[in-house]
């Protein structure tokens, strides 16, 4: 999910990244920061993840962005902390036609209570599939065993 390059910066995380699948949990203890794409527009910093066109807006310093993505069959969860807009977005980072052209204080009435991805269920399809295959295997053995003795 990280992005490296000219339009990326490293941001602090409020929590370690975790992955969940079928009741199992993996925690990535070595990561307390991550590098992500960013853009400066409409008077604020916006943060984007790898392979996505959507950017999460930072309305104020210290704001949390809640990330929830299914990656390789695991639910990956983490929380990015927004730095001060002025730390990253200077006037030259805003496009010429941006309506502000520099970091703006966001009106408290315009700040949503939650910024991030919707809640996702922990994936468990692979486990269900293996359970079904195991059940069918036992059924076939039992059926073959019973069929073999009835003749």
Two structure tokens written together for 106 = 């966001």
Higher model confidence: residue 145 or residue 59?
A: 59
Q: How big is the chain by its Cα radius of gyration, in Å?
A: 23
Higher model confidence: residue 87 or residue 28?
A: 87
Residue 112 has pLDDT above 80, yes or no: yes
Higher model confidence: residue 72 or residue 151?
A: 72
pLDDT for the residue 129: 53
State the average pLDDT over residues 86-100. Answer: 94
Residue 11 has pLDDT above 70, yes or no: yes
Sign, CA dihedral 89-4-111-96, equals positive
């Amino acid at each position: 999910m990280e992005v490296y390059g000219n339009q990326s910066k490293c941001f602090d995380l409020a929590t370690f990244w975790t992955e969940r699948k079928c009741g199992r949990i993996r925690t990535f203890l070595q990561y307390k920061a991550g590098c992500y794409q960013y853009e400066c527009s409409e008077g604020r910093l916006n943060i984007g993840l790898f392979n996505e066109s959507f950017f999460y807006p930072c309305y104020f310093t210290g704001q949390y962005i809640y990330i929830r993505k299914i990656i390789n069959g695991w639910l990956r969860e983490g929380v990015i902390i927004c730095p001060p807009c002025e730390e990253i977005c200077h006037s030259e980072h805003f496009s010429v036609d941006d309506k502000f052209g520099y970091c703006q204080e966001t009106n408290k009435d315009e700040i949503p209570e939650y910024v991030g991805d919707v809640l996702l269920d922990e994936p468990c399809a692979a486990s269900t599939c293996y359970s079904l295959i195991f059940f069918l295997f036992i059924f076939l053995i039992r059926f073959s065993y019973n069929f073999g003795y009835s003749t």
